[in-house]
Chains A and B, each alone.
Chain A
Amino acid sequence: MNKVWSLLFLAVPVFGVATFVAAPYFNHWLPRDVSEHGRMIDHLFMFILWLTGFVFVGTEVAIFWFMWRYNDRVNREPARFMHGSHSLELVWTILPAAILLFIAIYQMDAWAGSKMRRPDIAPTAEVTGRQFEWRLRYPGPDGVLDTADDIHHVNDLHLPVGEEVLLVVKSEDVLHSFFLPNLRIKQDVVPGMKQYVWFKANETGQFDIVCAELCGWGHYKMKGQVTLESREEFDAWLAQQYEQEQATLEQTTTDEG
């Protein structure tokens, strides 16, 4: 019985590390990255994971060792208390502070890349979060939003691959968060504010759009889909949407639009 508690505490780092080692084999790791900048985001994630993982394992092993070594059944000597160690306190203050400072500086470029260096291009589309769907709007042939030739759609975002894309993100009602897991994009959306996200996708395919901010009872169903396709396919799709919206007589092929 005397060593059970220390072994139990040892199980924490063992299971903790095992979870992370096993996760990728059970397809529970980061979603496939299909963006140009995603590598940098993933690198930051891995860097911080290794750093915190190292400290976590070290701390847990130290706890285990103290519990094992100073078990009260084998150590009959009374405990000795000590009070204050100036140098120790300095070490455990300066070391984490230095690490935090390092991370703060190390991530600056990634932050600036995704939040500050907005490309000087016209928005490809505007995404408006709403309980519980994503309303989409594309500028028409005039290339400007908020004019009579805008193209309206919902939940089914199409975007060109291999080029810089700028999206305007807004909310119509409450807080939402526009999350494109495969593109490593996540932006909180605040009613009354206009936010921008930009990225360059480098693979075609269909990926999820999800809401990452609890926005009401239907939050979990606020799911959309982004279709990344070649410029030609995208233009053709957009032209078809445009035609449907501009037509005065019913088109016969509207069903799968």
Chain B
Amino acid sequence: MTQPFKSTRNARFLVILLAGLAALSGCGRSEPARYHLNMVEMTDKGISAQYQVEIATILEAMFGTPDEPFVLPETGLDINKLRLASGPAWSDEEGTNHGLYRRHCAHCHGVTGDGAGPTALFLNPYPRDYRQGKFKFKSTERAAQPTAHDLREILRQGIPGTAMPSFRLHPSREIDALVEYVKYLSMRGQMETALANFVMFQLGEGESLSQYANVYVDELLSPIAEGWAGAEDQVIHPDPQLAPPPRNERDPEALAASIAKGRELFYGTKANCLECHGPTALGDGMTTDQDDWSKAVKQFAANHDQVTPVELGALPPRDVRPRNLRLGVFRGGRRPIDIYRRLHAGINGTPMPAVGPATPGATGTVTPDQIWNLVDYVLSLPYDATTQEPALLSNVRERL
């Protein structure tokens, strides 16, 4: 009498147990990762659904998929490095890690490199969107691409003051693979924009993109690849004659004089630093401007009322925060040469302007001498008497 009842109960228990185990083991593989188009851009440029499909197809033919990247020789990219960085994360028997981008980067920077991964919304500043090929912290002239060395240093040092951590302890093979992959995603994004522009401006009514195969490699991809290949020639090298000696060998009086000059420039009308960084350099001067990424989103929202950019996958725009120079945190590096380059070329994609000459030989807003004065002033700010006021330190409780 009780026997059948007991066995049904046991059977039911077994089914629940098996279902639970299946859920735990992640039974059933998820769909392969895919790149997606920049829908804000596509909508903004009025690219029809049919052309969107064509653009996506061409991009896939030129760059492959997240699991199987492909590159044309014109890009100058190393497919072996890309293979190590792409695909799902796994480790082989020798302990070599594969799928590095998805293991370390994709949750913030997104599979497509759009800077809108799952964690992006919680971060301020937002993770970099690579697709415009614009990078903030680099050694090159404002509009130029970063060098491989610049990207490698960002990975090695991290970006203090942001959510970008350091990957210093990772083997250089892994870092090089990731640098290559960032360049690849960037070129892919730039190519997407170039194709959208081509459809918008050059393509005749009803024409198909596919008949222009030679055009989009020679005329669209090549300039993008050249921009990356030529980055080395765009590195800012300050004139060694004008550069002060290493800081530890400076004559204290000369340094103090230089800091005083830098201070004057900071408050002067030429460099006009205080307008954004504020009269106390606490970064509270201008608080209503945006970087290029947020500007584009704002612009879109202003021009379209059918759909919001957030619905199309963009992050809500944010006002940029000028750096508080008294924190002693320097995102793009704290060496004098880093600060020099930041001042010389400004920060690409942000309202931070260049004070150095736009092209070699031209005259900048301020002279190289004066840039060095500003470097000295900026580097002195975190240790300035105002910064070190005891009031700021009073809430640091010392144990023992």
Main DSSP-derived SS at the B contact region: loop
Q: With both chains docked as a complex, state the minimum distance between the C-beta of A89 and any C-beta of chain B, in angstroms.
A: 41
Q: Is B247 an interface residue (CB 8 A)?
A: yes
Residue of A whose beta carbon sits closest to that of B397: A193
Cβ-neighbour of B400 out of A116, A141, A244, A250 (below 8 A): A116
Contacts of B243 in A (CB 8 A): 248-249
Q: Which of B119, B247, B382, B383 contacts A246 (CB 8 A)?
A: B247
Q: Please, how many angstroms separate the alpha-carbon atoms of A244 and B335 in the complex?
A: 8
Q: In the bound complex, do residue A154 and residue B247 qualify as a contact, i.e. CB atoms below 8 Å apart?
A: no
Q: Establish whether residues A152 and B169, one from each chain, have CB atoms under 8 Å apart when the complex forms.
A: no
Is A242 part of the binding interface, using a Cβ–Cβ cutoff of 8 Å? Answer: yes
Q: B139 contacts which chain A residues (CB < 8 A)?
A: 250
**Which residues of the partner chain B approach A246 to less than 8 Å between Cβ atoms?**
246-249, 336
Chain A residue nearest in CB terms to B118:
A217
Beta-carbon nearest neighbor of A257 in chain B: B156
Question: Per-position contact with A for B118-140: 1 when CB-CB < 8 Å, else 0?
Answer: 01000000000000000000010
Q: Name, among A156, A221, A245, the residue most crowded by chain B CB atoms within 10 Å (CB to CB).
A: A245
> How many interface residues does B have (CB within 8 Å)?
40
Q: Is the CB of A133 within 8 A of B246?
A: no
Once the chains bind, are A154 and B248 in contact (CB under 8 Å)? no
A133 to chain B, nearest CB (A): 4
A245 to B382, CA, bound (A): 16
Q: Mark A231-250, 1 if CB is under 8 A from B, else 0.
A: 00000000000111111111
Which residue of chain A is the closest to B400 with respect to CB atoms?
Answer: A118
The tally of CB-CB contacts under 8 A between chains A and B is 89
Docked-complex contact B399 and A195, CB < 8 angstroms: yes
Chain B nearest CB, measured from A244 CB (Å): 7
Stretch at the interface among B62-70, B159-167, B260-268: B159-167
* Chain A residue at smallest Cβ distance from B379: A148
Q: Is B337 an interface residue (CB 8 A)?
A: yes
Indicate which residue in B169, B237, B334 contacts A155 across the interface (CB closer than 8 Å). Answer: B169
Q: Is the CB of A141 within 8 A of B396?
A: no
Q: Is B158 an interface residue (CB 8 A)?
A: yes
- Interface readout for A215-236 with B: 1 if CB under 8 Å, 0 if not? 0011001011100000000000
In the complex, A135 has a CB within 8 A of chain B: yes
Provide the residues of chain B in CB contact with A132, threshold 8 Å. Answer: 165
- A38 to chain B: closest CB distance in Å? 22
Chain A 151-172: CB-based contact to B (< 8 A → 1; otherwise 0): 0101110000000000000000
Q: B395: CB under 8 A from chain A?
A: yes
Q: Are B165 and A218 in contact (CB under 8 A)?
A: yes
Cβ-defined contact, B399 with A193, below 8 A: yes
Q: Does A60 contact B (CB under 8 A)?
A: no
Q: Which residues of B contact A196 (CB under 8 A)?
A: 399-400
Chain A residues in 8 Å Cβ range of B163: 131
Tell me the residues in window 213-245 of chain B with beta carbons closer than 8 Å to chain A beta carbons: 237-238, 240, 243-245
A42 CB–B CB distance under 8 Å: no
Type the 1/0 row for A114-150, where 1 means its CB is closer than 8 Å to any CB of B: 0010100000000000111101000011000011110
By a CB distance below 8 angstroms, the chain A residues around B382 are 148
* Complex: A235 Cα to B15 Cα, angstroms: 65
- Please tell me if the beta carbons of A243 and B246 are within 8 angstroms of each other in the complex: yes
Within 8 A of B (CB), among A190-214: 192-196
**Does B43 interact with chain A (Cβ within 8 Å)?**
no
Complex Cα distance, B244 from A113, in Å, reads: 48
Q: How far is the CB of B282 from the nearest CB of chain A, in Å?
A: 18
Do A249 and B248 form a contact, CB below 8 Å, given A118-B400, A224-B169?
no
Give the residue of A147, A193, A218, A245 whose beta carbon is less than 8 angstroms from that of B396: A193
User: Which residue in chain B gives the minimum CB-CB distance to A147?
Assistant: B383
With A133-B158, A194-B396 known as contacts, the answer to whether A248 contacts B245 (CB < 8 A) is yes
Asked if A156 meets B383 with Cβ closer than 8 Å, knowing A194-B398, A248-B337, the reply is no
Complex interface: chain B residues within 8 A of A152 (CB): 334
Task: Specify the chain A residue showing the minimal Cβ separation from B380.
Answer: A148
B169 and A249 within 8 A (CB):
no
Distance (whole angstroms) from the CB of B365 to the closest CB of chain A:
21
Residues in B with CB closer than 8 Å to A243 are: 246, 248
B304 sits at the interface (CB 8 A): no
Task: Report whether B119 and A217 are in contact in the complex, using a CB–CB cutoff of 8 Å.
Answer: yes
Whether a CB of chain A sits under 8 angstroms from the CB of B272 is no
B168 within 8 A of A: yes
Most buried by A among B157, B158, B245, B246: B246
Could you list 23 A-B pairs, sorted by A, with CB under 8 Å?
A133-B158, A140-B248, A141-B248, A148-B380, A156-B168, A156-B169, A192-B395, A193-B396, A193-B397, A194-B396, A194-B397, A217-B107, A221-B104, A243-B248, A244-B335, A246-B246, A248-B238, A248-B243, A248-B372, A249-B238, A249-B240, A249-B243, A250-B139
- Listed in ascending order, the chain B residues whose CB lies under 8 Å from chain A are 104, 107, 119, 139, 149, 157-158, 160, 163, 165-166, 168-169, 237-238, 240, 243-249, 334-337, 340, 372, 379-380, 382-383, 388, 395-400
